[in-house]
Amino acid sequence: MWLFGGGPPKAFSWVYQYHPGRGSHIPRAFFQDFEGGLHIDGYAGYVGMPQVPLTGCFAHARRKFFDVAQSSKKKR
């Protein structure tokens, strides 16, 4: 199941699309006429869409920093 969301805050919408795979042809087809940028989670299927600038999500990286901070705390 693919989930695409976007729009202005007061009119934000979600589109669900079922596809049996996760290939890059799916977002390429969905965003073929799209003008703007995409905020993505880093999934490689979005990479290589020349007409759409990509903005990464830092949630995954932030988790790693949290793990390091937790593991480096001095135990009393």
Dist CA 67 CA 58 (whole Å): 14
pLDDT, tens only, 26-45: 988 988 888 888 888 778 88
In this model, does residue 56 exceed pLDDT 60?
Answer: yes
Long-range CB contacts (within 8 A, 24+) of 18-22: none
d(CA 16, CA 32): 17
Query: In the structure, what pLDDT confidence band is assigned to residue 75 with cuts at 50, 70 and 90?
Result: low
Q: Contact, 15 vs 5, CB < 8 A?
A: yes
